[in-house]
Amino acid sequence: MKSTIDLIRIAAVSIAAAVLLVLVPSAGAQSVAEFYQGRSVDFVVGSGAGGGYDIYARLLARRMGEYIPGKPTLIVKNVVGGGGLRATNLLYNVSPRDGSVIATVSRAMITAPVLGVDSAKFDAAKLTWLGNLTGEDSVCVAWHTAPVKTWDDLKKTRLIVGTAAPGTSTYTFPALLKNMFGAQFDMVTGYPDGSQAVLAMERGEVQSICQTYSTIKATHPSWIKEGTVNVLTVVSLRRNAELLGVPAAAEFAADKEQQQIIKIILGPELIGRPVFAPPALPTDRVKALREAFLATSKDSDFLADAARQNLEIDPTSGQEIQDLVSDILSAPPELMAKAQAMLAKQ
């Protein structure tokens, strides 16, 4: 039997432990505002400064912190490599899963792991999708001095196209058009990102690029108007309202199977400019970040900034993006294998 002194000691220890639990809150009990108060949030961009994703990220970073409880500062950091593969791998496998890091990369990263890109070490369905600033169409264009002026020309005449790494839009689109529809692209790979491929075209190293239409309008607004480039095709499931005379890639499908493959490969185009965080974030921080994203996208000052930069804003919620990504990645394995075969470099 314990002595009276022992019982007193046990009681004292128990009381002290209870007091400590009250006075020292656990990390799990920390509110969203407490977590973000006085903190900076890294906003990783998977491409170089001056490109479309970088421009949209900096636009968002200037305002979004005001709508996150605790009002953290968002700091843009460019992590270049593999057209977004390096940044996505970093967020998925290395970055803290606490809401202190978010990112934007090429939407092509969504399907990269299931379309044969070995260096894609992530599952896009498990990423925490926060929202999308706008849907996008991409275009393949040829420099005005190139012998190819139209899609019909491209079916008959060789055209040198500059691309980043496999898995990026700059690579995926010409590979798809070449392998499935016979486009005479001669692919020169290895550029760090789309903006570097653009510089290569301007220098005469290559004759063509496939890039987001909004990026061309924001960074080279005179190109199409002045005939600096010729638009060969809109790489999308439907024609672009501003380029109605240019055929969409989906129109070239010869049968139902090709239509299904195109939907797998081009489905991410509906997502456009996605913003995401690592997997398994605390639920309350996911909610706060998603709400802050949507609030920022409707902010009058944010929209005015976007208009001044000729940037389109048509936001989608994080949950909608999460559902769309899961839907894209749920295609049958045999269809995924055929889509993967269409993206192999010939």
Note the pLDDT of residue 115: 86
pLDDT of residue 2: 45
Q: Quick one: pLDDT at residue 77?
A: 97
Identify each DSSP E strand in the chain by its residue range: 40-45, 73-78, 101-104, 128-132, 138-143, 159-162, 185-188, 208-212, 229-235, 274-277, 316-317
Judged on CB neighbours under 10 Å (0-12, 13-18, 19+), 291 is middle
Structure confidence at residue 28 (pLDDT): 52
32-134+272-330: CATH topology:
D-Maltodextrin-Binding Protein; domain 2 (3.40.190)
Contact criterion met (CB below 8 Å) for 133 and 297: yes
Q: Closest by alpha carbon to 104, among 59, 193, 44, 50?
A: 44
What 3-state class would DSSP assign to 132?
strand
What one-letter code names the amino acid at 251? E
List per-residue pLDDT tens for the chain, 346 residues long.
Answer: 444 444 444 444 444 444 433 444 444 578 999 999 999 999 999 999 988 899 999 999 999 999 999 999 999 999 998 888 999 999 999 999 999 999 999 888 998 898 888 899 999 999 999 999 998 889 999 999 999 999 999 999 999 999 988 878 899 999 999 999 999 999 999 898 888 999 999 999 999 999 989 889 888 989 999 999 999 999 988 899 899 999 999 999 999 999 989 988 888 877 889 999 999 999 999 999 999 999 999 999 999 999 999 888 989 999 999 998 998 898 899 999 999 888 876 5
pLDDT of residue 14: 47
Topology alike, domains 32-134+272-330 and 138-268: yes
How many C-beta atoms surround the C-beta of residue 188 within 10 A?
16
Q: Following DSSP, what letter does each residue of 247-273 receive, concatenated?
A: PBGGGG--SHHHHHHHHHHHGGGGT-S
For the chain, count helices (H), then strands (E).
Answer: 14, 11
Domain 138-268 is found in CATH 3.40.50.1820: no
Q: Is the dihedral of CA 277, 283, 288, 294 positive or negative?
A: positive
List beta partners, residue 103: 44, 276
- Which of 95, 119, 99, 97 minimizes the C-alpha distance to 109? 119
Asked whether the beta carbons of 183 and 342 are under 8 A apart, the reply is no
Retrieve residue 12's tokens. 């004292």
Contact 206, 200 (CB under 8 A): yes
Query: Which amino acid is it at 326?
Result: S
Alpha carbons 160 and 187: distance in angstroms, whole number: 6
Place of tokens 């990112």: 103
Which residue carries 């128990």 as its tokens? 14
- For position 345, what pLDDT does the model report? 64
**pLDDT value of residue 8:** 41
Task: Write out the two tokens for 256.
Answer: 């139902």
pLDDT the model gives residue 202: 96
Domain boundaries, the chain: 32-134+272-330, 138-268
For the chain, give the number of residues: 346
What would the two tokens of residue 238 be?
A: 């439907």
Measure the CA–CA gap between 30 and 49, rounded to whole angstroms: 35
Instruction: Give the CA-trace dihedral at 289, 271, 320, 290, to 10 degrees.
Output: 10
